Amino acid sequence: MKDNKPLALQYIRGVGPKRAEVLASAGLLTAADMLRYYPRSYIDRNTVVTLAELTQTLRRDTLFSNDSPKLSGDFSVKNEITVVARISKIRENSYGGGSRSMMIISLSDESGGSADMIFFQMIHYFRIAFKVGMLVVVSGMPEYEEKFRKVSFHHPEVLKIDEEDEELYKEGKIIPKYKITQAMKNVHLSMRHIRSIVEEVIEQEIPKLRETLPSPILRKLSLPNIREASRMLHFPDSTASVERARFRMKFEELFFFEMMLALRKRGIKVMERGVIIDPKSTRARGLLDALPFELTHAQKRVIWEIATDFQSGKPMNRLLQGDVGSGKTLVALFAMLMAIDAGYQTLLMAPTEILAEQHYHTLKNFLEGSGIEIVQLIGGQKAKMRRDIKEKIALGKAHIIIGTHALFSGNATDASRTVDYHKVGLIVVDEQHRFGVMQRAKLRDLGIRSHVPDATPTLPISPHILVMSATPIPRTLSMTLYGDLDISIIDQMPYGRKPIRTEVIFESKLDTTMEFIRSEVRNGKQAYIVYPLVEKSDKIDLKSAVEHFEHLQHEVFPEFKLGLLHGQMFWYEKDDAMRAFKNKEFQILVATTVVEVGIDIPNATVMLIENAERFGLSQLHQLRGRVGRGGEQSYCFLATKDHFRFLLGKKEQEASERKASIIRLKTMEETTDGFKIAEVDMKLRGPGDVMGTRQSGVPDFEFTDLVRDFEVIEIAKREAFALIDADPHLRKPEHEQTRIEFLRQYAGEKGYFDVA
Ligand code: ADP
Ligand code: MG
């Protein structure tokens, strides 16, 4: 076999054309691909739970309070549980009047315990796949039912263990768990097959692996090299070696990611010139004097941080984090005034039209009589009006231009591409979590183009960028993940703001809450009632907003006017609904989660969230932030089912994931600190869901868990930034492979290497 020719899998023993096709559909085309198809986890006999232990623990969790004595072999059923057991019985039952069937597969193991797997779907497949006597690995969230004194897994992940695995398992070896897709199962490709394919190719493929990490780093951190790591992952000899290998893989993923951030940060600083803005601004001073309240310390600190950037000669690239209502917009306004007084135009972009419009009115209010011209670029403007606005912008007569993300980044139909801006000094982006890294680059370009190059063109002139976010990401994590941005945090609420009173209530008490809402509305206040879903779904029995809107309007609050807002509405319908609510055209807004982040309706003082246990805590926090925006006391009620009552007061550590989410509602009663809430939430749901990492440009890592592997992130960041400092273009011969690998992963970042 020639070394440089990739080996087609079809010719490997036991594969053949049909299986090769299935493997190809999973992206596995060559022997090299197989080598990179690393096990996702491992079965280590020592850590597998027996069915007897599982039953005992679940029974205790369900029946007793936390302070019951610890049992031997104690563990907590918080995460997914894996058991290895034999199929002892297979039954099918029908339900729903005989129209549907379910399959119950009983398991037993040497501990003498037992459990059931229950399947409602794909029964046809399971009928063929499972036989009595088969040894299987079952992973899932088990439940315990006292009535039957039985543990059950609903639709767990099941992997068949072949004879060979069974031998390994009996010997106490660690068995790698590969991801087996349904298509693979269909052609009877099992974990054992994957392992034997890897076994076939490993000796030939391993020598071809190129080390991409610089050797001083490998030595310093005692990381196994790529060849060792690859072997350890596929054929582990101990848990410790698996851990070492996995650490290396995590480090590698993060190292290249952090290198991208380091390059980007450095690239902008080296390749572009920032406009110089003198922070001594008459208008900023004027605004400060006119404010009816005192800026918080945090606000002052952030303004000072921005002012420092303004004078540095380098473009600012700053993330401003602060809880909803912490006064970010005002900070941005001060920065804008400094830029305007220094002779520059400023842009403010919002995620939606309604928020753009809100900013427009807020700023107009603050800036009355200041001689500052604010214009709005929004959809649906008449051609003549649009023309006038564009002219004002091009001539530099407009000082502040407000629009939506879509408009500025050129996703909308007409718009920014045809607008000539005039000396843009500062771009403010509100709610960055919907705003990716690419758009930021586009914005910078737009700003750069608005400057006429001067006589001695050295570097392009780049605007300062300030991104604001109310998505509370724990500080440590954001500093690492947004390594290319400097970070400012407003960690303090305006003085005199009354914290929102939050209460977890049960549905049987809803009447009282409705009465409370009635009395608030009678006093001229407004209220939100939030539901998790729009249309009624067969699967999950959730109250639908539409249905309940009808019910609430006609049965509960016939004397008030109610409005409806849900995700299936067009954006302009949503905007209309929000606008009408803001204008007090109705008193109660029944909504799904689409209520905008950052919408400012100070007159709304009550929020009721139904099925609150269905939401993540961060989401609840964001929703809750819609009230409590004025000086009045505001209230938030989190409704959940009565039968969850017994859970409150328990410790979440002792409960299953689903139950823990109910217990965690208590966190909302205890704190209004978004960062604290985010931390609790991330432990539960992972950072991807909390931050929307996909949009924020963080890749999906194969090995890294962004919460648990925080230490690895820090180390990778340190090493990557140090490397870019020492060899910014990776020109040294010993960095050749690192450079090649980086460009393979982050091809778009090439430009930063080419700077002289
Ligand atoms: P954010 O954008 O951070 O959610 P905003 O900037 O919209 O918050 O501020 C919320 C409200 O608080 C606004 O009405 C704003 O005028 C007001 N505000 C801002 N800073 C202060 C302060 N230091 N003291 C009192 N009120 C403030
Ligand atoms: Mg805001």
Report the alpha-carbon distance of residue 518 to residue 659 in Å, rounded. Answer: 32
Angle at 227 between CA 226 and CA 233, to 5 degrees: 85
609 falls in which pLDDT band (50, 70, 90)? very high
Q: Please, are residues 400 and 340 in contact by the beta-carbon 8 Å criterion?
A: yes
* Residue 492 alpha carbon to ligand 2 centre in Å: 15
- What is the reported pLDDT for 542? 47
Q: Which of 124-128, 328-332, 655-659 has the least mean pLDDT? A: 655-659
- Domain boundary residue, one of 624, 640, 656: 640
CA separation, residue 3 to residues 7, 215, 245, 741 (Å): 9, 25, 26, 20
CB atoms within 10 A of CB 210: 10
- What is the reported pLDDT for 190? 80
- Answer whether 470 contacts ligand 1 (Cβ < 6 A): yes
**Comparing C-alpha atoms, which of 479, 412, 399, 420 is closest to residue 439?**
412
- Answer whether 697 contacts ligand 1 (Cβ < 6 A): no
Shortest-distance atom of ligand 1 to CA 326: 3
Are residues 168 and 182 located together in one domain of the fold?
A: no
Q: Which of 330, 354, 490, 672 to mutate to test the pocket of ligand 1 (most atoms within 8 A of CB)?
A: 330
Q: What phi, psi does 645 have (nearest 5°)?
A: -55, -40
Which of the ligands is closest to the CA of residue 674? 1
Q: Tens of pLDDT along 321-354?
A: 888 888 999 999 999 999 999 999 999 988 878 7
Token pair 């780049």 is found at 462
Q: Tens of pLDDT along 481-520?
A: 677 788 898 988 888 788 899 999 988 889 999 999 999 9
Are residues 295 and 316 located together in one domain of the fold?
A: yes
- Domain boundary residue, one of 490, 521, 538: 490
Surrounding ion ligand 2 within 5 Å at CB are 329, 598
Are residues 158 and 134 located together in one domain of the fold?
A: yes
Reply yes or no on whether the pLDDT at 698 is more than 90. Answer: no
Q: Please, are residues 700 and 694 in contact by the beta-carbon 8 Å criterion?
A: yes
* Residue 566 alpha carbon to ligand 2 centre in Å: 21
Q: Which residue minimizes the CA distance to atom 18 of ligand 1?
A: 327
Are residues 323 and 445 located together in one domain of the fold?
A: yes
- What is the reported pLDDT for 237? 86
Check the CA dihedral 236-237-240-245 and report its sign: negative
- Answer whether 293 contacts ligand 1 (Cβ < 6 A): yes
* Residue 322 alpha carbon to ligand 1 centre in Å: 11
How many domains is the chain built from?
4
Q: Which of 321, 329, 622 to mutate to test the pocket of ligand 1 (most atoms within 8 A of CB)?
A: 329
Does 25 fall in a domain?
A: yes
Task: Say if strands 526-530 and 604-609 run parallel, antiparallel, or are unpaired.
Answer: parallel
* Domain CATH code at residue 30: 1.10.150
- Answer whether 200 contacts ligand 1 (Cβ < 6 A): no
Does 100 fall in a domain?
A: yes
Are residues 409 and 302 located together in one domain of the fold?
A: yes
Are residues 129 and 185 located together in one domain of the fold?
A: no
CB-based burial of residue 385 (10 Å sphere; 0-12 exposed, 13-18 middle, 19+ buried)?
exposed
- Of 2-6, 137-141, 425-429, 480-484, give the range with the top mean pLDDT: 425-429
Q: What residues make up the domain containing 186?
A: 1-40+178-208
Are residues 192 and 161 located together in one domain of the fold?
A: no
CA separation, residue 253 to residues 212, 495, 661, 713 (Å): 11, 44, 31, 9
- Answer whether 628 contacts ligand 1 (Cβ < 6 A): no
* Residue 89 alpha carbon to ligand 2 centre in Å: 59
Are residues 282 and 297 located together in one domain of the fold?
A: yes
* Residue 325 alpha carbon to ligand 2 centre in Å: 7
- Domain boundary residue, one of 157, 189, 208: 208
Reply yes or no on whether the pLDDT at 439 is more than 80. Answer: no
145 falls in which pLDDT band (50, 70, 90)? confident
Q: What is the pTM of this model?
A: 0.69
* Domain CATH code at residue 527: 3.40.50.300
The string over 90-99, giving b where at least 16 C-beta atoms fall within 10 Å of a residue's C-beta and e elsewhere, is: beeeeeeeee
CA 573 distance to own-chain centroid: 27
143 falls in which pLDDT band (50, 70, 90)? confident
432 falls in which pLDDT band (50, 70, 90)? low
Are residues 434 and 552 located together in one domain of the fold?
A: no
- Of 23-32, 149-158, 327-336, 412-421, give the range with the top mean pLDDT: 327-336
Token pair 């300062």 is found at 464
CA separation, residue 109 to residues 84, 147, 190, 199 (Å): 7, 22, 22, 30
Q: Which of 317-326, 594-603, 668-677, 688-697 has the least mean pLDDT? A: 688-697
- What is the reported pLDDT for 527? 96
Residues 6+ apart with CB under 8 A from 381: 389
- Answer whether 322 contacts ligand 1 (Cβ < 6 A): yes
Are residues 309 and 421 located together in one domain of the fold?
A: yes
Q: Which residue minimizes the CA distance to atom 10 of ligand 1?
A: 325
Neighbouring C-alpha atoms within 13 Å toward the C-beta of 31: 24
Dmax (CA) for the chain in angstroms is 86
Q: Which residue minimizes the CA distance to atom 26 of ligand 1?
A: 494
Shortest-distance atom of ligand 1 to CA 602: 14
* Residue 327 alpha carbon to ligand 2 centre in Å: 7
Are residues 87 and 136 located together in one domain of the fold?
A: yes
73 falls in which pLDDT band (50, 70, 90)? very low
Token pair 């060899």 is found at 727
Q: Per DSSP, what are the bridge partners of residue 606?
A: 527, 635
Reply yes or no on whether the pLDDT at 538 is more than 60. Answer: no
- Answer whether 295 contacts ligand 1 (Cβ < 6 A): yes
